[in-house]
Amino acid sequence: MASAIASNRCSICEKNAAMCNCVGCQAFFCIKHFNEHRQQLSLQYDQDVIEPCDRLVEQINQAQNSNDTSFEHFVTIDQWEASTMDIVKRTANRAREQLTRLLDDEKELLRKQFDRLTQEIRRQREEDEFAEEDITRFRTKINKLQQALQQSAQPNNINVIASQLGQVDWNHLIYVEKQPEKILPRSTCIDFNAQWIKDGLTVAGGNGRGEKLNQLNAPQGICVDNDDQSVYITDWCNHRIVRWKPNQTAGQIVAGGNGAGSGPNQLNNPLDVILDHERNNFIICDSGNKRIVRWPCRDAHSGQTIISNIDSRGLAIDDRGYLYVSDYTKNEVRRWQIGEVEGTLVAGGNGRGRALNQLNGPQGIFVDEDHSIYVSDMNNYRVMKWTDGAKEGTIVAGGQSKGDDLTQLSSPYGVVVDRLGTVYIVDCGCCRIVRWCNGSKAGSIVVGGNGCGDKINQLNYPTGFAFDRFGNIYVSDNGNNRIQKFNIYSNSC
């Protein structure tokens, strides 16, 4: 906090004997006034961080002990119950239990986020290592959790599905379901201590390099359809998108597969794919043709170019249906609305470089529920976070030059962020998937990291990956021409 300075005046008494410098406000103080400054800062920390944090824990405890029965979905259940025969009361009770469990899950997630924040706040307070920016940062996090707590009382991602009377299926008269997450199409909610089985299972390919339906050729980006656990794969050198259903020995071509070309029924080295459930389309990064293609999911023999002249390596879509595209050549990420010609710059765009407002070879991207953009800044060996509207990003992983140390990355590709803010990265050059918890200075190995190879606990230059709704990890094992599934331990969720 303090450093020796021989010739500076105290900012309070203006004596030349100022020996201490506050790294937060950058002011100089004599010993007496530095101690007073620390006392004032401690009081401000208690008022602006500790006290709001204590109030928030009381609110969280109250929310965990009660569910608001005026919540409109409970009312819907009650009205339906009153209009039916007594026999359906058992079904309604089951639906209430489902809804309560879903609401409790949301509150438990908030509790985990709060516990992590509390540990960090208490640690800094005990170590007396904080400055003005820490107070601002903690206050912002507390406010965000307060908003999330208020929203959890009336969540907008839960529907009550009630059958019409007439044709009655007594097992499905009324039930509660949680809508799939629109904003995190390749993520899930994962405990920050979760562990995965280190030996992978081959769920696609693994039969050597080739173009047969049971083979892949340098697979790149992937996504998982949580409705049926099908895996969609950009089969790079076969110029196609293939679908592999669970427990199948061969895939099915759903886009391309007509040789490399620029025709409407062709692809040329596709690098990424996302499944837009809302509009029933695939969005494909057709890198060899420098275009983004929209391809209908069902029985379509051709696609439509929606963005041209772009050297894209990664795609993402948010809850509004806006499309985010990384441009490797222009070192930028743009956001596109349907019908836009130019798009909106949301990250980079200031030339190639390593400054915080620059990127160098962006690859995979991810957009979170706040519309912040996470970018695998490959040639800077880091992952950057750009908040919505920001002019520069912050480093959330790597940034310590190329290497295999846990503080480093080596050619990061795919990136996914879970709802706890944990960043998962395909560290291609080190043949591993790593996890960086929110605010961490180093990562940890999730799977791989046993050297590049073709054993079941190894990867060979992985490029893309995705989670399913259970937290299992699917990895595009490029050099082995296969997709590996790493199951999460059942007690990790």
Could you tell me the pTM of the whole model? 0.69
Element housing 79 (H / E): helix 72-82
- Angle, CA of 69, 55 and 146, to the nearest 5°: 60
Q: Which CATH fold topology does 201-486 show?
A: Neuraminidase (2.120.10)
Q: What is the dihedral of CA 305, 307, 308, 312, to 10 degrees?
A: -110
Residue 124 vs residues 121, 321, 326: alpha-carbon distances, Å: 5, 40, 37
State the Cα–Cα distance between residues 265 and 260, nearest whole angstrom: 10
In DSSP notation, 360-394 reads SSEEEEEE-TT--EEEEEGGGTEEEEE-TT-SS-E
Tokens (6 digits) for 203 = 């769920």
Tokens (6 digits) for 32 = 């007496």
| pLDDT (tens digit per residue) in 340-393 | 888 999 999 999 999 999 999 999 999 998 899 999 999 999 999 999 999 999
pLDDT score at 74: 79
pLDDT score at 395: 97
**Which residue numbers in the chain have pLDDT < 70?**
1-7, 17-18, 66-71, 80, 84-88, 156-157, 160-174, 178-189, 491-493
pLDDT score at 350: 97
